Every structure is written in structure tokens, then in C-alpha cells.
Amino acid sequence: MANCVENNLSCTGCSACYVICPVNAIKIELSQNGFYTATLDKQKCIDCGKCLKVCPKFIDNNFVNKFEDLPLYASYSLDKFVQESCSSGGIAFEISKYGLDNGYKIAGVIYDYIEQKAKTVIFDNLKDLELFKGSKYLQSDCFQTFDEIIKSKDNFIVFGTPCQISGLNLVAKQNNFKDRIIFVDFFCHGVPTYLLWNKCLEYIKKENKIKKINNINFRNKKYGWHNNTMKINDFFIKENKNPFYTLFFSNLLLNDSCYNCNTKSSFDFTDIRIGDFWGETFDNREDGVSIILPITNKGKEILETLKQNLKISLLEQKHDVCFKAQSAFKQYSINKNIRVNLFSLLKQDGNNMNNIVKEYFNSLSFKKKIVFKIKQILPVILKSKIRFIYHKVVR
């Protein structure tokens, strides 16, 4: 095997192979299961093996940077509007503003309302940066932008999933341009299939009588930071009424590569890792708090500058709370038969989301069915109290 496509390991869709291939033998396309995946034109392939050297699937587990040895902070923007308008504490936005002020272009994810998908694009001004705000919860189309980055001579701050960042980092190392890139990834839960997202969009539009979607906020804070409230146009959809979050957090519809990911628990390929500071420490905060790990000297310098310029708050934290709360450190245990059945249902035109969620519910154990039903009816304030008790007593 002289290429990264023809093997038994699941593709992450990171696009590293696409951008490094010297003969354009690799394309990144949506698979039948709704994930960005590399495909190979065998007639073009020259067996050079370059793609093997940048593919995250072949990263070994001998990582240098260990989570417990890295500095860990709780952080949030000191600009209240930024904090409130972002999904977490607004740290990604503050890092991006730092970049623009210091000669960097920003590569981040927006939601494309024409194609109804997440897309990695390049920003070079503060106005467009507003489109970058908020988590997208979808696998982003990044291959064209990553290709533009490697062909450019500009400096970039690049945001992405751990697999995307590790792939681009390895390409940068191979092509000797790491010095002009600052890498920022995040604590990743995994990426859901676009089959689920597309089906949910149809359902939400029909249920709320929406003709055209022109604004999506995947995690709006109207009901608090801890509650996954989606805002579509002027409609607020709470987590317990949202089939997308129900099935996303079931972990049954993630990319195959997400179940055995080397990169989400690695800290060797990024300068900064960010995310939501879940866990007991900030159970009573609903304005949003980010977790942040500066890993390299470049990452540490950025955070120190932001702190000194009174842009962000940095509060040093213990690692154990984060370790227990972040899904990036957990192995998902799933029923493969149920997973196959759900994918089959998503592919059928006649099935709506109520039927698919019902099928998922019927697959649960009796205990999990009870928990599911309770979550469906619990008011937000009670959920907050139960979460607080759980963290204090059970953990």
C-alpha cells in the first residue's frame, strides 16, 4: 500500500492527503454515510507515499505532551458582548482578533446557508469574523481552504478539529511552513453524519413552518450556557425537543474514525486547545466559560498577551475536573446493529425524525428509557440542580 486511501482504517476527512498529493489523485467527497472522505483515482496515483506521511490514521500513540503536564485554565472574554454571543467563553474570537491585529489571516468555520453545511474559510477583517462565532457541530468542508493555505505565503491562525489540525500540521512539517501557522484545535466530541443534519433541517422547517433558513445558532444561551438550545431564524429549540442533539449525543451516528481517534486525546499537533469548561467547577455559571491549554511557546505568548491587554480572564485549574467531564477522553461503547439500523432509516425518504428517534428510544434499556423520558420533561432549572447534585455526590 503506497497511499492512505486503500486501507482498512476509517478516513477522518481531514484533507491532508488531498493538499499534499502532487498529481491530484485524491478528492474529498461526502460518502454515502454523510461524512467527508478521501477517494482515490488509481489511474492518476504514482505511489509516491506522500499522503501516508500526513494522514492522522497512521499517527502512533507515543505522544510527548501529556494532558496532566500541561497548564490548564478556565477563561472567558472580558468583553461581555463577546462572551454572551459566543457558544462558550469567547476565547476563539479573542484569539482571532489578536491574529488580525498582528498580521495573521484567520481560517475558521462558518455555516454556509446556500449549501447548508459547515465550511472552513479565510477571514482577514473583523466584520467577517462575526460569521465565525459559535460552535457548528458539523464536519467542515476544509480541503479548498487548506489547499489555499499551503500555497500562500501569508501567516495564519487555523482553527479545526484535532484530526484536521494534526493533518495540516504534518503537511506544514513536510513542506516547511510551520513557522507561519498557529494551530488551534478543540476538545472534540466527534462529528455527526450530514444525513442526520439534513433530515433534522427538513423536520425543523416543517414543524416551525420555516420557508427559508437564514440564521442558525447551534448553541444559543437564551436558556443558559449548559443547555444546548438551537436558534433557527427566530425559533428557539431546546435540547429535549431537538432530534439532532438527541441522536448526536447518543454517539451512534458519528464518523467511524471518531470511535478510535488518535488525535482527540493528543496534544502534539496544536499550539492551543480550547473548549467548554464542563464539570462541577462552573455548574452555577450560565454565561459561558472556556477551557484552554496553551501547549507551545507560541500558544503561551498569545494567551499572556491577551491577559496583559485585559482581553481575557485566565484562571488556573486542576486537571481532574476537566478529565472527568470532557468526552475527548472517553471511549464510546455503541451497539453496531442499532447504528446500522439508524443509518438505514436516515437514508429512506419516507422516514421523518419522530420515527427515527422512536426507533432509537425503543433500542434503549429500560433504565435508559426512564432517563430519556425524564430529560424530555424536566424544566431547565431542575436540570441545573440535578447536574449540580450529580457532580457533587456521584463524582
pLDDT tens across 261-275, in order?
A: 989 989 999 999 999
Rounded Cα–Cα distance for residues 59 and 265 (Å): 12
Nearest to 120 by CA among 164, 76, 154: 164
Rounded Cα–Cα distance for residues 294 and 304 (Å): 10
Positive or negative torsion for Cα 165, 82, 320, 328: negative
Which residue(s) pair with 272 in the sheet? 184, 294
The predicted structure's pLDDT at residue 182: 98
Q: Which helix or strand (DSSP H or E) is residue 207 part of?
A: helix 194-207
Nearest to 161 by CA among 326, 12, 4: 12
The predicted structure's pLDDT at residue 220: 95
Contact yes or no for 320/121 (Cβ under 8 A): no
Which residue(s) pair with 38 in the sheet? 28
Rounded Cα–Cα distance for residues 113 and 117 (Å): 7
The predicted structure's pLDDT at residue 212: 92
| Residue type, position 371, single letter | V
Contact yes or no for 270/183 (Cβ under 8 A): yes
Write out 214-248 in H/E/C secondary structure. CCEEEEECCCCCCCCEEEECCEEECHHHCHHHHHH
Identify the residue whose cell numbers are 433530515: 199
User: CA of 176: how far to CAs of 53, 54, 157, 172, 291, in Å?
Assistant: 14, 13, 16, 6, 30
Rounded Cα–Cα distance for residues 237 and 268 (Å): 38
pLDDT more than 70, % of the chain: 96
| Residue type, position 68, single letter | E
Contact yes or no for 20/50 (Cβ under 8 A): yes
Residues with Cβ within 8 Å of residue 152, at least 6 apart in sequence: none
Residues with Cβ within 8 Å of residue 314, at least 6 apart in sequence: 73, 74, 75, 292, 303, 307
Tens of pLDDT, residue by residue over 292-306, are 999 999 999 999 999
256 dihedral zone (left: phi>0; alpha: psi -120 to 50; beta) = alpha
- Average pLDDT of adjacent 10-residue blocks, the chain of 395 residues: 78 96 96 96 94 90 91 97 95 97 97 96 94 94 96 97 97 95 97 97 92 94 92 93 95 95 93 95 92 97 97 95 88 92 93 92 92 80 62 57
Q: Which helix or strand (DSSP H or E) is residue 105 part of?
A: strand 104-112
Q: What is the DSSP letter of 141?
A: B
CB atoms within 10 A of CB 357: 17
Q: pTM value?
A: 0.95
Contact yes or no for 223/229 (Cβ under 8 A): yes
Contact yes or no for 302/98 (Cβ under 8 A): yes
Rounded Cα–Cα distance for residues 48 and 21 (Å): 9
Nearest to 249 by CA among 239, 236, 262: 239
Tens of pLDDT, residue by residue over 226-250, are 989 999 999 999 998 899 999 999 9
CB atoms within 10 A of CB 212: 7
The predicted structure's pLDDT at residue 59: 86
* Half-sphere exposure at residue 160, Cβ-oriented, CA atoms within 13 angstroms: 35
Nearest to 269 by CA among 297, 295, 292: 295
Rounded Cα–Cα distance for residues 19 and 54 (Å): 10
